[in-house]
Structure 1
Amino acid sequence: MEHDKTIQSKHGIEILEKVRGICETLPEVEEIVDGFGHTTFKVKGKSFVIMGESGGSIGLSFKSDKEMQFILLQQDKFFKTPYIGHHGWVSVKTDEPIDWNELGALIKEGYLRAAPKRLVKQFLV
């Protein structure tokens, strides 16, 4: 059974490059590709962005909390991430124009939720 979610399309690679550019500005972030081919951005072993591709559809999810998730889900461009949405994760529709300023801020919030306190302090200084 094939489960490879590696990003391979031109559109997917463009989105990955923009997300990578956001994440590279954050302290101690590592980018890994998991056993299913998802590209995951982590800080100290904790994920805050997960991306994948299946059938030409690009998946982009970020860590949030339930309160922010509730607010974001009021907008059509966001939806609850399958399997991990009950933990507050949110996905963005990538087949529509993406507001990179907004998404960048949400990715940074996800980072701050995942990062240890010392890194949060370093980031906020």
Structure 2
Amino acid sequence: MIKIDAIVNEDKMEDIKDALQKLKVNGMTISQVMGCGTQMGYREKIRGYDVDINVLPKVKFEIVVSSQEWADRTIDAICKCAHTGEHGDGKIFVYELADVIRIRTGEHGPKAVWAADQTE
């Protein structure tokens, strides 16, 4: 089982969500987050003062899939939607999971992860 965390520009959220739903990757958590990286922010005038804005709004997708095949599909879809070639496109972090437990049923492991090729 694999967890994918993707931190991307806010304006890519709907495109990514739609692409993942078309793949039948239906289980995801989406959060608004703030972050900084190589983009280094920008300078803005606020009430007549120059202010450095170096923590920028982003969107974080958290997705758990049952196999490497599903991880590859998911990562590919995110990359295709988020890529602009500019600083700030985002990052994807991939983790191996020791276990997943579905609280409702007590199922452990891949059976506890919703995937398109599984039925509940």
Is TM more than 0.5 here?
no
Between Structure 1 and Structure 2, which shows a larger proportion of strand residues? 2
Greater share of helix residues, 1 or 2?
A: 1
Higher relative CO (CA 8 A, sep ≥ 6), structure 1 or 2? 2
TM-score by length of 2: 0.29
